[in-house]
Amino acid sequence: MAFSPNNFSQRDDGQFSFRRLLRRVFLEDWLIKAVALFITITLWLGVTGLRAPVTVRLRNIPLNLRVSNDIEITNSPVREVDLDITGDKRKIEQLNLRDLVVSLDLTDVQAGERTVQIAPQNVSLELPTGVRLEEIQPNRIAVKLEAVAERDVTVRAETEGALPENHEIYSRTVLPAKVRVRGPESFIKSLDFVSTEKISLENRREDFAVRQVALNIVNPKVTLLDPAVDVNFVIGENRIERMFTVPAKTDAGNKTASVVLYGARSILDSLKPEDLRIEVVKNEAGEMSPNLILPVEIQGQVEIRKLKIN
C-alpha cells in the first residue's frame, strides 16, 4: 500500500474530535449537568427505590357470602375479616376501606352445617395493580345452609281499640284467607300463620272493610309473596242466648218444644213464643223431625242453637 501523509492527518483529526467531544460532555457546563443528574437520580428513587413493598393489616373488612337462589344462610356467621395485604405503600395508603368488600362464593356448597375455608385463592377482592392479598383472618367460618321452600299460610286479622259499648264483631273475613311465603325450610314449616297490621275498631258500629292491609313477618329470612290482603268485618249489637217454649203439633198429639236462639239482645228481647212456629216434617232418613219457622223480619239474624221436642 502506498504511503500517504494524509492518512496521519485524518487520524489526528479523528482523535482530536473525540477528545473535544469528551471534554464537552464531562467538563463544559459541569454544574448544570450535575444538577440535572441529581434531579434524575432523585426522581428515579422516588419512582423505584421508594416502592419497596410493605405489608399492612386491614381490620374489620365486610365479608359477603354469596349463595344460590334456592339456599339460605340460617345461622349468624362471621361478617367481618382482617386482611394482610402487600404492595406499594402509596397505593395502600390511598385505599378507601369503605369500598373494600371480601366476597366468598358458596353457590356450589350443598345444604347442611359446613365449615368453609377463606383463603386469598377462593375470595374476590378489588385491589389496585401491584397490591396483593396475602392472608385472611379468620381463615375458616361455620355456616348453616338450608334449602328454600314455599308454603301457603293462614292470615290472622289483628285489631286494636274497642268497639262502642254493647257492640261486638260478628265475623271477620280475610281475602285471601291464605298467602304464600318463601324462606328456609325449617322456618317455613314452623310458621302457623301471619298477622295483618293492627286494624282500629274505634267507633265502629256497622260493617266495614279495609283494603290492602299489610302483613307482618317478624323473621327477616321469610319473604311474603302476597304482601297484602282485604279484611271484611261484620259488626252488630251484643248477642245473647234465650230459651223459648213453643207449642208443637205431632202425630202423638200436642206437645212443646224447647228452643234456644242466639242473636242480638234487642231482637230476642222483643221476640215472643207465639212469634215462633214448629212444624214436624220427615227428615232425609224418613224420621219425623221438628222444624222451626222464624218471623220473616229476623230470618238470617238469629241462630238456632237448640230445638228439641219435649
For every residue of the chain, which 3-state class applies, written as one string?
CCCCHHHHHHHHHHHHHHHHHHHHHHCCCHHHHHHHHHHHHHHHHHHCHHHCCEEEEEEEEEEEEECCCCEEECCCCCCEEEEEEEECHHHHHCCCHHHCCEEEECCCCCCEEEEEECCHHHEECCCCCCCEEEEEECCEEEEEEEEEEEEEEEEECCEECCCCCCEEEEEEEEECCEEEEEEEHHHHHCCCEEEECCEECCCCCCCEEEEEEEEECCCCCCEECCCEEEEEEEEEECEEEEEEEEEEEECCEEEEEEEEEEEEHHHHHHCCHHHCEEEEEECCCCCEEEEEECCHHHCCCEEEEEEEEC
Give residue-wise pLDDT tens across range 80-111. Answer: 999 999 998 889 989 999 999 999 999 999 99
Give the per-residue pLDDT at 1. Answer: 47
Closest CA to 144 of 75, 66, 78: 75
CATH topology identical between 54-138 and 148-237 = yes
| CA atoms of 1 and 253, how far apart (whole Å) | 170
The Cα 129–Cα 308 span in angstroms is 93
* Residue range 172-231, pLDDT digits in tens: 999 999 999 999 999 999 999 999 999 999 999 999 999 999 999 888 889 999 999 999
Q: How far apart are the C-alpha atoms of 71 and 147, rounded to whole Å?
A: 5
Read off the pLDDT of residues 253-272 as tens digits, 9 standing for 90 and up. Answer: 788 889 999 999 999 999 99
State the average pLDDT over residues 112-129.
94
pTM for the full model? 0.65
Torsion sign (Cα): 252, 254, 257, 263: positive
Q: What is the mean pLDDT of residues 54-64?
A: 95
CA distances from 58 to 79, 95, 202, 211, 232 (A): 15, 10, 57, 52, 58
* Sign of the CA dihedral running 219, 222, 227, 228: negative
Q: What is the pLDDT of residue 49?
A: 46
pLDDT tens across 191-207, in order? 999 999 999 999 999 99
Does 15 score more than 50 pLDDT?
yes
Q: What's the confidence (pLDDT) of residue 255?
A: 84
- Return the domain boundaries, the chain: 54-138, 148-237, 239-309
CATH number of 148-237: 2.170.120.40
C-alpha cell at 304: 238456632
CATH 3.30.420.40 fits 54-138, yes or no: no
Residue 296 pLDDT: 92
Instruction: Give the tens place of pLDDT for each residue, 123-135.
Output: 999 999 989 999 9
Q: Is a pLDDT exceeding 80 seen at residue 154?
A: yes
**Mean pLDDT taken over the chain:** 87
Mean pLDDT value of segment 118-125: 95
Confidence category of residue 8, pLDDT binned at 50, 70, 90: very low
What's residue 213's pLDDT? Answer: 97
